[in-house]
C-alpha cells in the first residue's frame, strides 16, 4: 500500500510540474516534454501544426514578357497574312520580330495561303472584293473603282476597246499610236514581280519585233539582287535576244542571239513568270522556257495526257512551296500535279507527282450529295504550293460560286468566299504578296512606325512600280545601240526618253491605285476575325485582343 501511495504522489507531483529530488534533471525535463498537458508541449505542438507561409505572388506577365521565339510561335498561329501585317505594324518590337527572321517568314508562307484581295474582271478591270458576309464594303469597292481612269493631260491612256485582258493593262500613246501593256499582278509570279511589253511605233516597216520586260525581285535569302530581264523577239519567234539588268552592277549584260526557238507551225499563246523561269506556252505539246539563272532557252514537252488542242484551258503553270515548276491539271474533280524534275535517267521532264480526288470536298462545300450541274476548276491559279480555284453550281443567273484554296502539300481546303451569282467573264485574282516592309530590315521603312505604335493612316508596306525598271529601260537602250545604226533606228522605234518617262508615270499611278485599294481591303473587309462595325477601334486594341486569344490557345495546347 505504501508503494502505491508513493507512486501516486510522484504522479501528482510530476503532473503539477514539481521535480522529484531523486530524479535526474535531464530525465525529468524529458518526461515533462512528453506530458500531454504540459504548457510547453501545447505551445510547441501548435507551432508545428501551423501551415507554411505562402510564397510571394509572381510578377504580372504581359505579352512583352514573352521571348522572341514564343512570340513567333504565336504569330505562326495567326489566321492569314493580313492579320500578321496588322500585328507586325502595331509596334516596333513586333515589326522587328518579323523582319529579322527569314525562317519565320518562310514557315509562315508554308502554313498560310496568300489571300485573294480582289478579283479583276475582263475587260475593264472591275473589282469584285471577297467578303465573308457576302456583302462587300462599298468604300473598299470604291477604292478600286477608277484604276483605269485617264487624265487628258497625260500622253498615254488606256485602250478604249479592251483596256484589260489576261492580267495586262493596255496603254496607247495618243500622239504616236505606240502601244504597251503592263501586268501589275503578274498572275502566279513571285512577289513584287511585274511585266511590261513595249511595241514599236507605227508604221513598223523594218521593225518586226517587240520587247518584253520582267522584273525579278531579290530572293528571300538575299543572295541575288533585283534584276530586270528583257527579251527581244520577232513576231514569229524565229530569233530572240536576252539582256539582263542587275541592280548591283547597274548595267545590262547582253546574251547571244538564239534562233530556231519554236517548232514548226507552233505559236506562243500564254506566258507566265514562275520561280526560275519565264514560260511561253506553245500550242498542243510544248512550253518554251527561259531559265532566269542561266538565261538559256529550252523546250519543255508536256506530258502525254496534257497534249492536244485546247488542253491548256484545263491546266495551270505554277510553283510548289519549294519553288519547283509544276503543272496542275483538273478534270472531272480529279486534280493531278506534274513536277519538272529529273527522271531515273537524269533527264528533266514533267513527271506525275500527286493526284487528289475532290469529289468529297466539293460535296461538302456545295452541300449537295450529287454533283449534277457542278463545275470545278474555273479561274484556277497556282502560287507557292496553293491552288486557287472556283466551284460553280447551276447554270442560271442565280448560280452559286465558291472560291477555294487547296494546299498541294497537306490537301487542306479553305473556303475563301462565296458569291450568289456566277462570274461569267474571265477574272484574274489579286493575290497579296509579302509586303516589302516586312522583309527588309532597314531604318527608313515604308511603313511609318512612330514610338511604340503605328498610326492608322500609314500605308501597309506600299510597293510601287519597281524603281529598277526605270533604270533598266535606259540602260537597255544604251547597251543595244553600241554604234550600230540599225539598232539605233530600232531602239528609237521603241524607246524615246520622254515617251517612256510618261509611260512609267502612268504605270506608277496605276500601282498607287492598287496599293490604296489593297490597304483599304486590309483595314476593313478581309479578315473575319474582327467584329463587324468596330472600324474605329485602334489597331493596337484589335491586335491585343486577337493576340490574347491566340496566345491563350497556344499555351493551353
In Å, the largest CA–CA distance within the chain is 150
Q: How many residues does the chain have?
A: 557
pLDDT band at residue 336, thresholds of 50, 70 and 90? very high
Residues in contact with 228: Cβ distance below 8 Å, sequence separation at least 6, in sequence order: 213, 214, 215, 216, 244, 245, 466, 468, 469, 472, 476
Give the containing element (helix H, strand E) for 229: strand 227-234
Q: Where are the domains of the chain?
A: 74-112, 116-370+422-438, 465-524
Structure confidence at residue 449 (pLDDT): 43
- More confident site: 7 or 394: 394
Nearest to 546 by CA among 78, 70, 72: 78
CA distance 329 to 389: 11
pLDDT band at residue 445, thresholds of 50, 70 and 90? very low
**Mean pLDDT for the stretch of residues 30-36:** 44
Residues facing 330 on adjacent strands: 335
Please determine, for residue 532, whether its predicted confidence score (pLDDT) is greater than 70: no
Task: Give the lowest-confidence range in 110-119, 204-213, 241-250, 330-339.
Answer: 204-213
Measured on CA atoms in the order 132, 135, 140, 146, is the torsion positive or negative? positive
CA distance 309 to 305: 12
Structure confidence at residue 503 (pLDDT): 87
pLDDT band at residue 264, thresholds of 50, 70 and 90? low
Give the containing element (helix H, strand E) for 70: helix 68-76
pLDDT in tens, 452-502: 444 443 444 444 445 677 788 877 777 766 545 455 556 666 767 777 888
Q: Which three cell numbers stand for residue 55?
A: 510564397
**Mean pLDDT for the stretch of residues 18-41:** 46
**Mean pLDDT for the stretch of residues 270-281:** 83
Structure confidence at residue 516 (pLDDT): 84
Helix extents (H) in 249-385: 359-366
Burial of residue 428, with CB atoms counted within 10 A of its CB: 0-12 exposed, 13-18 middle, 19 or more buried? buried
The percentage of residues in the chain with a pLDDT greater than 70, rounded to a whole number, is 69
pLDDT band at residue 259, thresholds of 50, 70 and 90? confident
Structure confidence at residue 171 (pLDDT): 93
Please determine, for residue 409, whether its predicted confidence score (pLDDT) is greater than 70: yes
- More confident site: 551 or 283: 283
Please determine, for residue 339, whether its predicted confidence score (pLDDT) is greater than 90: yes
Please determine, for residue 347, whether its predicted confidence score (pLDDT) is greater than 70: yes
Task: Give the lowest-confidence range in 136-145, 272-281, 416-425, 489-498.
Answer: 489-498
- More confident site: 377 or 156: 156
Contact (CB, 8 A) for 404 and 365: yes
CA distance 340 to 107: 23
Task: Give the lowest-confidence range in 151-160, 225-234, 328-337.
Answer: 151-160
pLDDT in tens, 49-89: 677 888 888 777 777 788 899 999 999 999 888 889 888 88
- More confident site: 33 or 152: 152
pLDDT in tens, 282-301: 667 888 899 988 999 988 99
Write down the mean pLDDT value for the chain: 74
CA distance 217 to 417: 30
Amino acid at each position: 500500500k505504501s508503494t502505491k501511495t508513493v507512486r501516486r504522489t510522484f504522479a501528482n507531483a510530476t503532473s503539477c510540474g514539481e521535480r522529484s529530488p531523486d530524479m535526474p534533471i535531464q530525465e525529468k525535463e524529458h518526461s515533462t516534454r512528453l506530458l500531454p498537458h504540459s504548457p510547453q508541449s501545447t505551445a510547441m505542438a501548435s507551432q508545428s501544426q501551423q501551415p507554411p507561409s505562402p510564397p510571394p505572388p509572381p510578377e504580372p506577365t504581359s505579352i512583352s514578357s514573352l521571348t522572341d521565339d514564343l512570340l513567333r510561335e504565336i504569330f505562326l498561329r495567326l489566321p492569314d497574312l493580313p492579320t500578321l501585317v496588322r500585328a507586325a505594324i502595331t509596334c516596333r518590337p513586333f515589326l522587328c520580330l518579323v523582319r529579322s527572321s527569314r525562317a519565320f517568314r518562310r514557315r509562315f508562307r508554308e502554313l498560310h495561303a496568300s489571300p485573294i484581295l480582289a478579283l479583276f474582271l475582263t475587260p475593264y478591270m472591275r473589282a469584285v472584293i471577297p467578303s465573308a458576309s457576302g456583302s462587300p464594303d462599298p468604300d473598299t469597292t470604291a477604292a478600286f473603282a477608277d484604276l483605269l481612269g485617264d487624265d487628258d493631260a497625260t500622253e498615254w491612256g488606256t485602250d478604249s476597246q479592251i483596256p484589260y485582258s489576261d492580267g495586262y493593262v493596255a496603254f496607247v500613246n495618243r500622239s504616236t499610236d505606240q502601244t504597251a501593256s503592263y501586268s501589275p499582278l503578274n498572275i502566279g509570279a513571285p512577289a513584287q514581280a511585274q511585266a511590261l511589253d513595249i511595241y514599236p511605233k507605227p508604221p513598223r516597216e523594218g521593225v518586226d519585233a517587240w520587247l518584253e520586260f520582267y522584273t525579278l525581285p531579290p530572293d528571300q535569302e538575299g543572295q541575288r539582287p533585283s534584276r530586270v530581264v528583257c527579251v527581244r523577239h520577232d513576231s514569229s519567234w524565229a530569233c530572240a535576244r536576252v539582256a539582263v539588268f542587275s541592280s548591283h552592277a547597274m548595267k545590262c549584260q547582253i546574251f547571244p542571239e538564239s534562233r530556231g526557238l519554236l517548232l514548226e507551225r507552233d505559236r506562243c499563246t500564254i506566258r507566265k513568270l514562275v520561280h526560275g523561269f519565264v514560260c511561253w506556252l506553245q500550242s498542243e505539246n510544248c512550253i518554251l522556257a527561259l531559265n532566269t539563272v542561266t538565261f538559256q532557252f529550252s523546250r519543255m514537252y508536256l506530258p502525254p495526257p496534257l497534249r492536244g488542242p485546247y488542253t491548256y484551258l484545263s491546266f495551270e503553270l505554277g510553283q510548289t512551296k519549294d519553288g519547283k515548276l509544276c503543272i496542275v491539271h483538273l478534270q472531272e474533280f480529279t486534280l493531278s500535279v506534274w513536277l519538272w524534275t529529273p527522271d531515273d535517267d537524269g533527264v528533266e521532264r514533267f513527271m506525275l507527282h500527286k493526284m487528289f480526288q475532290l469529289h468529297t470536298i466539293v460535296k461538302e462545300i456545295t452541300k449537295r450529295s450529287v454533283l449534277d450541274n457542278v463545275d470545278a476548276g474555273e479561274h484556277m491559279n497556282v502560287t507557292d504550293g496553293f491552288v486557287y480555284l472556283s466551284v460553280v453550281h447551276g447554270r442560271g443567273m442565280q448560280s452559286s460560286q465558291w472560291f477555294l484554296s487547296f494546299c498541294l502539300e497537306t490537301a487542306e481546303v479553305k473556303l475563301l468566299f462565296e458569291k450568289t451569282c456566277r462570274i461569267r467573264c474571265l477574272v484574274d485574282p489579286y493575290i497579296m504578296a509579302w509586303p516589302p516592309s516586312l522583309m527588309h530590315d532597314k531604318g527608313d521603312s515604308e511603313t511609318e512606325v512612330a514610338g511604340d505604335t503605328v498610326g492608322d493612316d500609314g500605308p501597309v508596306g506600299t510597293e510601287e512600280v519597281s524603281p529598277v525598271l526605270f533604270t533598266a529601260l535606259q540602260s537597255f537602250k544604251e547597251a543595244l545601240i553600241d554604234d550600230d545604226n540599225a539598232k539605233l533606228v530600232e531602239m528609237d522605234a521603241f524607246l524615246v526618253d520622254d515617251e517612256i518617262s510618261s509611260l512609267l508615270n502612268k504605270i506608277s499611278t496605276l500601282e498607287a491605285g492598287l496599293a490604296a485599294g489593297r490597304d483599304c481591303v486590309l483595314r476593313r473587309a478581309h479578315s473575319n476575325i474582327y467584329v463587324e462595325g468596330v472600324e474605329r477601334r485602334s489597331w493596337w486594341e484589335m491586335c491585343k485582343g486577337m493576340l490574347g486569344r491566340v496566345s491563350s490557345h497556344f499555351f493551353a495546347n
